[in-house]
C-alpha cells in the first residue's frame, strides 16, 4: 500500500519533512492502546480506548455486540482510530480514518486471535465460533477491520503534520 503522502506546511515547523507511511505503519503495529471514535445514532460523538492489531493493511479490533461502539457502528460504519504518545515534545501520533467492516471469515478470525495473543499475551486468547471471538468468561465479541482511507501523522518536537490518502 503506497498512499499519496503530503506534508501540511501550515502546521509544520520550517524545514520539516513528511513522515513516511512506513514509519506511521510501524507506530500502528507497535502501539498497544488506541482510541476509537464513532458517532451515536443521535449524532453525538463517542470515544473509547481499545486494543487493536495491524494485519493485512488494516487495524482490527473487537467489541461486545451490546456495547455502545458496536451499536454506533451498526448505524454508521465510519470511524477514526487514534494512537500516539501523550507527550508534547516527542513522539508521533497517528490518526486513521476509515470504514469498519465486520470480519466473519473463520480463517481470518483465527489468524486475528493469534495476532491478538502474540501482541497482548495469553489473557487476550480468544476462541473462534459463530463468526466472532469468544472469551473464557463467555463473552462474544464482534471483530472489525478498518483499512485507512485517510490518515494523519503529527510529529512532535520537530513539529510536522503529514497526510496520507489511500
Give the pLDDT confidence of 42-58 residue by residue, as tens digits. 999 999 999 999 999 99
For residue 162 the three cell numbers come to: 503529514
pLDDT above 90 (res 17): yes
Q: Are 153 and 97 in contact (CB under 8 A)?
A: no
Phi, psi dihedrals of residue 111, rounded to the nearest 5°: -60, -35
Q: Which residues pair with 155 in a beta bridge?
A: 92, 160
Q: In degrees, to the nearest 5, what angle opens at C-alpha 111 toward C-alphas 103 and 92?
A: 80
Give the pLDDT confidence of 114-150 residue by residue, as tens digits. 999 999 999 999 999 999 999 987 789 999 999 999 9
Would you state the pLDDT for residue 1? 76
Domains of the chain as residue ranges with CATH:
4-102+143-165 (2.30.110.10)
Give the pLDDT confidence of 84-118 residue by residue, as tens digits. 999 999 999 999 999 999 999 999 999 999 999 99
Would you state the pLDDT for residue 41? 94
- Helix ranges restricted to H, the chain: 21-30, 68-75, 106-120
Amino acid at each position: 500500500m503506497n498512499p499519496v503522502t503530503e506534508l501540511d506546511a501550515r502546521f509544520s515547523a520550517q524545514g520539516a519533512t513528511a513522515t513516511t507511511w512506513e514509519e506511521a505503519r510501524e507506530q500502528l503495529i507497535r502501539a498497544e492502546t488506541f482510541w476509537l471514535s464513532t458517532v451515536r445514532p443521535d449524532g453525538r460523538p463517542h470515544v473509547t480506548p481499545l486494543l487493536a492489531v495491524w494485519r493485512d493493511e488494516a487495524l482490527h479490533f473487537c467489541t461486545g455486540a451490546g456495547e455502545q461502539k458496536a451499536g454506533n457502528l451498526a448505524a454508521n460504519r465510519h470511524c477514526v482510530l487514534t494512537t500516539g504518545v501523550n507527550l508534547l515534545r516527542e513522539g508521533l501520533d497517528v490518526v486513521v480514518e476509515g470504514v469498519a467492516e465486520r470480519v466473519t471469515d473463520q480463517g481470518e478470525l483465527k489468524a486475528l486471535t493469534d495476532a491478538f495473543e502474540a501482541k497482548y499475551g495469553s489473557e487476550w486468547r480468544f476462541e473462534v465460533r459463530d463468526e466472532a471471538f469468544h472469551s473464557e468468561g463467555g463473552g462474544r465479541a464482534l471483530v472489525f477491520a478498518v483499512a485507512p482511507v485517510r490518515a494523519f501523522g503529527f510529529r512532535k518536537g520537530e513539529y510536522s503534520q503529514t497526510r496520507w490518502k489511500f
